A and B are shown apart, each in its own frame.
Chain A
Amino acid sequence: MQSNEASSSMDVDTVSSKAKVLPPKPKFKPLKPHEMASGQVQFRKVSVPPHRYTPLHKLWMEFYTPIYEQMKIDIRMNKRGRKVELKTRPDTPDISNLQKCADFVHAFMLGFDVIDAIAILRLDELYVESFEIKDVKTLRGDHLSRAIGRLSGKGGKTKFTIENATKTRIVIADTKIHILGSFANIKVARDSLCYLIMGSPAGKVYSKLRAITSRMAERF
């Protein structure tokens, strides 16, 4: 538009002297994440619960390597404050890396294995959903214990079955339940867990799982 106007104006004003030459449009490179926040460094701090302190200590290298090498994010452990701190580097490729790393670390703190939590770094649409048993059904005392037992099953059998069938990972921490997986899978796993909390026997949940997963597998 401006050029047209300029040209038209140019055409109109031929008597005047030479037209002004506008400077060329600037072409900017896309902002680096580093510069996005006006050159400031971004931080994430994830607190470490006491029961994950020792595992973190053991598995630090497995922790550290993917974050530093592939995500290009600085990571350090603040022992005094019991926090893991993440910081962007100038050569961090993507601004979402920091968030992903933070989610990864958070998932580990919730109780997931490093191998499972690393999937967060690799896939985009993996989420962690947490809920409590009391959100589903108010249970007290023995009933609560029994519900937790029902969820895990003998030797964790039921939990593994749900994990395998729905391609999710489940962490049962006392009364809190965390599910890691894609959205649809989380839903299926959540439904199965809710049935278990509400009292269905494991066999029934298995049959439902079987039906659902076979249906899901057929789609592909």
Chain B
Amino acid sequence: MANTNNAGAEALRRLKEVDPPSLLAPNPTLSETARAASQYLFSSIRPFSQKCPLDQLLVDGYDAEQIWHQIDLQTQPLLSTLRRRVNQFVKNPDEIAQLKVPSSVAKKVEAKNHEEWEQESDDFDEELDEDDDDEDDFEGVEKEEKNGGSDGEEEEDDDDDDDEEGSEDEDEDEEGEKEKGKGKDSGIEDKFLKINELNEYLEKEENNYENAEEADDGDEDSEEDDELEKAGEFEMDEDDEDDDEEEDEDDEEEEEEGMENARYDDFFVGKKEKSSKRKDQLVEESEDSGDEDDMESNKQKKRTASTHEKQLEKIQSEIELMEKANVEPKTWSMQGEVTAANRPVDSLLAVNLDFEHNVRPTPVITEEFTASIEDMIQKRIIEGLFNDVQRAPRLPSKAPREVKELDDNKSKKGLAEMYEQEYVQKIDPTSAPLSSKDKLKNEASMLFKRLCLKLDALSHFSFAPKPVIEDMSFQTNVPALAMEEIAPVAVSDAAMLAPEEVFDGKGDVKEEAELTQAERKRRRANKKRKFKADAVKRSEKKARSEKKEDNAIPGQVNG
């Protein structure tokens, strides 16, 4: 290893001194040196890239492209972790100052690094993923620095930086876990711990996790990286004694803590948390067999928790809740006077408030209600019991005045006649014309008589013939049959028109259409003759009347 390292370093140095233009032309020696240098670099970075499946860079007989891909395999995850680490430092610049720590032994540094790794891996169960990131960043930064530094001389500085980072990580670890006890060197495999078993278990878990979470976030990737790193770490332990020691140290640390500071909390409280975190996140396999055993025992204990313990748990949780509620500020409904500003919007709607109603609540209209009302209405209608308001009878105060109707026609009497009438009325009250009262009386008596006649006719009890009223009225020529139907006895057909009254004509009466031309002419001639005779008569009349007027003695008073 050291010879190859030296050769590799040598090759690197030579490469550095090469002129860039000479690289343009293909040169077998240059390629040899380049391959050796890249191999050296690869192997030097190898300790920090745990995820890489390649042990060393395979150079013989490989194409440039293939070599490049091998390098890529190694560096890709490293770069991401380093970037994260740098971001971490960007956020907390104070850590950068703590980075620089004088280094003594590379081994120690490496050991410390590994220890820190393990510590942090153990802490992952209880800490957030940020710590994972921290460690990843830390590791990434390491690799980056190593990549950047082409000289092996810088490795020491890197180691120093790693030391500083490791110390920082130590400081960052706030949770006091049992793993804080670092620096305990006692790497002896115990009967409890078998490295081979560990490795097998780790590989199994790895496969499971990789299958389950292929497209996870970087955190989980980082965790995977951690696992891989841990796996790689353990693999490396096989290669390096130091790593074995580190492993043993880790194992021993846990075992020591288990042995020396054995408390209930160490076993059950911590393990419980660890197991819970395993369910939530990807648990680090670095919990090792001891943890596994403890966890298994824990699980068994949980399953067989006694009823008393269950009750206790219940009560405990309730108590916690109540205490929590008591500590918190009260809800708005339990506070005293609460204005709208002190309670959430529309919160009154959810609460059943109790207050006095001054208004009678509106009656709920149900079917029964309407049915009852309708029944009442029907009953009232049947009885005829309406609570009608009856007008109070007004006592007649005075005799009703005789209302004189206004006549809007032109009066036929002259003014003189009107005053004459008035005068006569004044002088001689007896000659006063019938007042309207009498008129009404007459009308009433007439109506009554007519009514009595009709009733008598219908009843046939007491026959009273219709009063003969000599008046000019039109006689309707109604057929006797109709009349008799209405009033069988009392009405006779004597009141109807006589045949002569129906038609008074002589000779052969012809219709308009039946007349011949000669007859029509004759008819017209007769008409004309009559008209002429009438005209003559009229003119004679007029002449006579005019003469009379002229001869009339003047002074006759008209009217």
Contacts and interface: CB of A to CB of B under 8 A. Distances in A.
Given A69-B555, A115-B559, A167-B418, 6 more contacts: A65-B556, A153-B408, A164-B406, A164-B407, A209-B406, A214-B403
B414 A118 contact: yes
Given A160-B409, A161-B406, A206-B406, A115 B555 contact: no
B335 interface: no
Nearest to A206: B406
A113 B408 contact: no
Interface in A148-182: 153, 156-158, 160-161, 163-165, 167-169, 180-182
Nearest to B426: A220
A43 interface: no
A160 B407 contact: yes
Nearest to A215: B401
Contact of A115 (B406, B416, B554): B416
A62 B555 CA distance: 10
Interface string B212-252: 00000000000000000000000000000000000000000
B462 interface: no
Contacts of A69: 554-557
Contacts of B415: 115-116, 119, 126, 167-169, 180-181
A68 interface: yes
A64 interface: yes
A165 B407 CA distance: 8
Interface of A: 61-62, 64-66, 68-70, 113, 115-116, 118-119, 122-123, 126, 153, 156-158, 160-161, 163-165, 167-169, 180-182, 206, 209-210, 213-214, 217-218, 220
B358 interface: no
Contact of B554 (A68, A118, A161, A206): A68
A161 B558 CA distance: 27
A4 to B, nearest CB: 48
B419 A123 contact: yes
A210 B554 contact: no
Contacts, number: 82
Contacts of B409: 160, 164
A156 B408 CA distance: 8
A104 to B, nearest CB: 11
A153 B410 CA distance: 12
B306 interface: no
A115 B414 CA distance: 5
B402 interface: yes
Interface of B: 401-404, 406-411, 414-416, 418-420, 422, 425-426, 554-559
Nearest to B414: A115
Contact of A65 (B407, B416, B555): B555
B406 A66 contact: no
Nearest to A202: B408
Contacts of B402: 214
Contact of B408 (A64, A119, A157): A157
B501 to A, nearest CB: 41
A52 to B, nearest CB: 18
A66 B401 CA distance: 41
Contacts of A182: 419
A62 B422 CA distance: 24
A182 B426 CA distance: 16
Contacts of B418: 167
Contact of A161 (B408, B420, B425): B408
Contacts of A161: 406-408
A91 to B, nearest CB: 13
B400 to A, nearest CB: 12
A160 B408 contact: yes
Contact of A160 (B410, B416, B420, B554): B410
B414 A210 contact: no
26 contacts: A61-B554, A62-B558, A65-B555, A65-B556, A69-B555, A69-B556, A69-B557, A115-B416, A116-B415, A122-B416, A122-B419, A123-B416, A126-B419, A153-B408, A156-B410, A158-B408, A160-B409, A160-B410, A164-B411, A167-B415, A168-B415, A210-B404, A214-B404, A220-B422, A220-B425, A220-B426
A95 to B, nearest CB: 22
Contact of A210 (B403, B408, B558, B559): B403
B416 A116 contact: yes
Given A64-B554, A115-B416, A122-B416, A167 B410 contact: no
A164 to B, nearest CB: 5
A167 B425 CA distance: 15
Contacts of B558: 62, 65
